[in-house]
Structure 1
Amino acid sequence: MCEWDRLDEWRAKMRDVITRKEAGRVSPFHLLSMPGMGASEQRSCADLWMQDRIASSRMQRSHLDFAFSPKDKAKIRIGYLSCDFHDHATSLLLVELFECHERDRFEVFAYSYGPDDGKNMRGRLKKCFDRFLDIQELSDVEAAKQIYEGQIDILVDLKGYTSNSRTMILTFRPAPIQVNYLGYPGTLGGNFCDYIITDRFLTPLASAADYSEAFAYLPDTYQPHGRRCPIGTRPTRSDAGLAEQGFVFCCFNQAYKITPEIFDVWCKLLTNVPGSMLWLLKNNKAEGNLRNEACKRGVAPDSLIFAEEKPQSEHLGRLALADLVLDTFPYNAHTTASDALWAGVPLVTCAGATFPSRVAGSLLQAIGLPELIATDIDGYYDLVFDLASSPERLSQIKAKLDANRLTTALFDIDTYTKNIEKLYATMWQRYLDGLPPSIIQG
């Protein structure tokens, strides 16, 4: 809701819970967007969140008699676990990866515990898998049994501690190898996932102690994004609710990612770039608060324009009206960042020390635009202001982005799929060799 008056108080309360090691009090997800929380605190919070839950599942697990005998096989069986196998950002990122999996080497299963929304994406996803299993009516134990009976070799969780997740299924250990991937930008703690799929920019080797999982490094970026994402017709500025003249700063991240510190920067930019406007995603709960916060900072409330949610192709089409996308901190843009880059709009980010604060930087590295990554808030402001004040430099950046879109790693889904399959194959071979999970250099 962008009600920030008690933010410092809540941060102190969260930190106190972690310091006192009070189990299950604070959801790890809430720490990701809380300014000032480090990766070590995020791990401690995840461990505490799962402590009692794992103890509970351990008693049940002793009766399940899940046993695994390593043996070589022609095809590795991958199981993807999620409630987002429908028209959702995670599936929009993953669908072309699923379609590209090499079926001579892998069998691919979906374990879905989310709704069927009846849209085209659901049908497309069902065609991607060798088997698509709906487990939403099953209990966690029953779901774990079904995964075990399906003889899944590598179970890949796509949710973590995001909304409607069923992380408890993994605590029963229904597969010999379990992987944390994409849906949650941080460690799950609790030592029930063996690997986290990442890249060297996101999680440098020096940060390994902040994760319960071993790093499985992709060579470029951890995020997949295909090339069959149609970009709709560009509307007029008037149709999008934008003024006909003036520089358009844009951020379509969810409101919970907007913090006072980053909003200070945005308002300073609106003040110092005459005629500029800030284009945000509509949120009925946050809109009034953000307008009030703008007023407090001396910015006219109507400088903030709120956009309705649109289907993906329409959304990508309207993004072309933005001059520059502004990232949030410490929880960066994820899908919204790669969408902007796919639509040809540059993005400026500030990279911190935690996984969620480095995602947009990972994407910019993979598309050959590291010059758009700032390392602190002051540098972020300076970089954005320079681009907004220099049409020639911004034009050069846009031309470079246009040239790099289809020639760099970010949107090369075929190569990305081969690389993640190499990680899966290495995980499996280590298991066959009797070796514990360890860092995999992709």
Structure 2
Amino acid sequence: MRGVDWRERVREHVDFFHDNEEIKMDHIGLARYIHDQGIHILIEWDGYARQGERAQGLMALRPSPLQILHQEFLGTSGGQYVDYIVTDKITSPPHLADLYTEKFMYLPNHFFSKGHAVQEEVKKPTYEYVPANKPYTIGTGSPRENACMTKTGKKPKFVFCNFNKFLKNSPETLRSWIRILREVPDSMLCLLENPKTGTNYLRRFVHEAAGEPKIYTDPKSGEKIPDFEPKDGDSLNERIHFLPWERNPFDHQARNQDFCNVMLDSHPYNGHTVAQDALYGGVPIITRSDGDDMSSRVTTSGNIVLGLEELNAYDGSRQYEDIAIELGNNRTKFKAVRRQLIDTALQSNPMHPYWDAPRYAKNLESGLIAAWERFLAGKDPDVIEVVESTEASRGTYDQILEDNPSNRASDHVEL
């Protein structure tokens, strides 16, 4: 399958690659192997996210002097055997430090790594939509034309989307989506079959949440009988559609521009990798910013770095709904926000800090070095705030100048 062999890609770009396939479920064997290799810093990239697919208990054996939690599972490990968690000051504010057992390793800009802008397979967003193909071809058509691949002839004027797992959404979030659909006439909600077995449950929830209970009085007996008035639940369900799962990650990312005008973020567990896919596809994300948990604040931080703080609902669900309703009903406003987002993805010389992977790598390396030097000095882990060096802040610019010396003139900086 095209573009999914991450294992080989990593192998090609690192100095040492340790193949532990045969002992990956043996946490004691893995710990012994890591210890014998003299690994200084062990970074956990799964946390509690993939129970049953990998060895549990590895970090508790502390095979390395320093152990760090980074991405995938976004929250504290709750264990005294993890020294640091990689984050930023918006995602994990200092005043919430008591919610974590780890010390913060604060990165500038945004703590979540994303390599979209430096991978050739990832489609860059475009200001104008590519004309639609029939049957649908990835990378063509607008959200209105593609209409979440529905068979109905009526086209929506605006398409909201959410491609996260259903389990990331609370009942309150789904009720917000119902109110948004009501207030944006002829809009549609495009979701992912994630999982497919959950779609009927979601539709049932919409049917029930859109209606209201009532009491029916039997005219003969006078007995009061619980009843239900469905109201507009069925018509709302007609405006909610599901895309099939796309196994190829690059094709999945490309579909964002084809199917989504705006992403309604999940709460209390934000979209993370899914959110980065949407943002790089030129799809603005409206998020609730009233949570304390790390997983609920990732998009809030990202929107600030991208200059889109107006999409952060600090006051909760009602503000979240109001922002979505405004964008859905105000085409001029939506186009301005979308263009601003796409500007960041297409910026070069230097790349926008949100998308600059080499810049991110330098900052992360600085954090790891600071943690290791602290360990060598015999100091306990403590908060590390990475101050971006001049080298890191130049990001990809130095490499561009090396490859294209004629670009040294300041008027070659493209915004």
User: Does the TM-score normalized on the shorter chain lie above 0.5?
Assistant: yes
Q: Which residue of 1 aligns with 2:214?
A: none
CA–CA separation in structure 1 for the residues paired with 2:37 and 2:319: 51
Is 1:241 paired with 2:241? no
**Aligned partner of 2:286: which letter?**
V
Distance of 1:250 and 1:211 partners within structure 2: 32
**Given that residues 179 and 197 in structure 1 are in contact (C-alpha distance below 8 angstroms), is that contact kept between their aligned partners in structure 2?**
yes
Q: Which residue of the partner structure matches residue 339 of structure 2?
A: 399
Matched pairs, number = 327
Which residue of structure 1 aligns with residue 37 of structure 2? 150
> 2:181, 2:188 within 8 Å by CA — same for their partners in 1?
yes
* Structure 1 position 354 matched with structure 2 position 354: no
Q: Is the 8 A contact 1:240 1:318 kept in 2?
A: no
The aligned residue for residue 177 of structure 2 is 266
Alignment partner of 2:358: what SS? helix
Stretches of structure 1 lacking an aligned partner (at least 5 in a row): 1-85, 93-118
CA distance in 1, matches of 2:75, 2:55: 16
Structural mapping, 1:61-100, within 5 Å? none
Deviations 1:280-303 (A, max 9, x none): 001322101111222221232221
Distance 1:314 1:162 in 2: 24
Written as runs of structure 1 = structure 2, the 5 A alignment for 1:375-390 is: 375=314, 376-390=316-330
CA distance in 2, matches of 1:245, 1:357: 30
* Counterpart-to-counterpart distance in 2, 1:230 and 1:441: 31
Report the 3-state secondary structure (helix = DSSP H, G, I; strand = E; otherwise coil) of the residue aligned with 2:196: coil
| Structure 1 equivalent of residue 227 of structure 2 | none
Verify the 8 A CA contact 2:147 2:155 in the aligned structure 1.
Answer: no
Equivalent residue for 2:354? 410
> Percent identity of the aligned residues?
30
Q: 1:121 aligned to 2:23?
A: no
Name which of structure 1's ranges 228-237 and 321-330 shifts more when overlaid on structure 2: 228-237
SS of aligned partner of 1:285: helix
Residues 35-82 of structure 1: per-residue CA shift (max 9 Å, x gap): xxxxxxxxxxxxxxxxxxxxxxxxxxxxxxxxxxxxxxxxxxxxxxxx
| Distance (Å, rounded) in 1 between the aligned partners of 2:146 and 2:79 | 51
Query: Is 1:424 matched with 2:368?
Result: yes
Give the whole-Å Cα distance in 1 for the aligned partners of 2:308 and 2:352.
Answer: 10
**Contact map agreement 1:186 1:355 (CA 8 A) in 2:** yes
Asked if 1:433 is matched to 2:369, the reply is no
Counterpart residue number, 2:199: 287
Distance 2:148 2:327 in 1: 23
> For the aligned residues, what is the CA RMSD?
1.9
Secondary structure, aligned partner of 1:379 = helix
What whole-Å deviation, never above 9, does each CA across 1:339-395 have from its counterpart, x for those lacking one?
Answer: 111001111000211101101112212222111111111110111111111111111
Residue 7 of structure 1: aligned partner: none
Aligned to 2:306: 367
- Deviation of 1:239 after TM superposition, in Å, equals 8.1
State the alpha-carbon separation in 1 of the partners of residues 280 and 378 from structure 2: 42
SS in 1 for 2:268: coil
Show the 5 A alignment for 1:145-224: 145-163=32-50, 164-224=53-113
Secondary structure at 1:244 match in 2: coil
Q: Which amino acid aligns with 2:292?
A: A
The counterpart of 1:334, out of the listed 272, 277, 283, is 272
Aligned with 1:325 (options 263, 274, 278): 263
The secondary structure found in structure 1 opposite 2:58 is helix
Whether 2:218 is the aligned partner of 1:278: answer no
| Distance verdict in 2 for CA 1:195–1:238, change over 3 Å | closer
| Residue 235 of structure 1: how far off its partner (Å) | 4.6
CA contact (8 A) 2:148 2:190 kept: no
Counterpart of 1:29 in structure 2 is none
The alpha-carbon deviation at position 314 of structure 1 amounts to: 2.0
How far is 1:213 from its partner? 0.6
Aligned partners of 2:11 and 2:17 also within 8 Å:
yes
Native 8 Å contact 1:160 1:184 kept in 2: yes
1:121 CA drift (Å): 2.5
Contact preservation (8 Å) 2:288, 2:317: yes
TM-score by length of 2: 0.75
CA distance in 1 between counterparts of 2:146 and 2:297 reads 34
Q: 1:154-176 CA deviation, whole Å, 9 max, x = no partner?
A: 10010111123434111111111
Partner residue, 1:308:
244
In structure 2, how many angstroms separate the alpha carbons of the residues matched to 1:188 and 1:157?
A: 10
8 Å Cα contact 1:215-1:440 kept in structure 2: yes
Residues 284, 337 of structure 2: 8 Å contact kept = yes
Q: In 1, distance between residues paired with 2:58 and 2:253?
A: 36
User: Contact 1:251–1:327 at 8 Å: present in 2 too?
Assistant: yes
Report the secondary structure of 2:48's partner residue.
Answer: coil
Partners of 2:95 and 2:312 in 1: CA distance: 20
Q: CA deviation at 1:144?
A: 0.5
Preserved contact between residue 147 and residue 156 of structure 2 (Cα < 8 Å): no
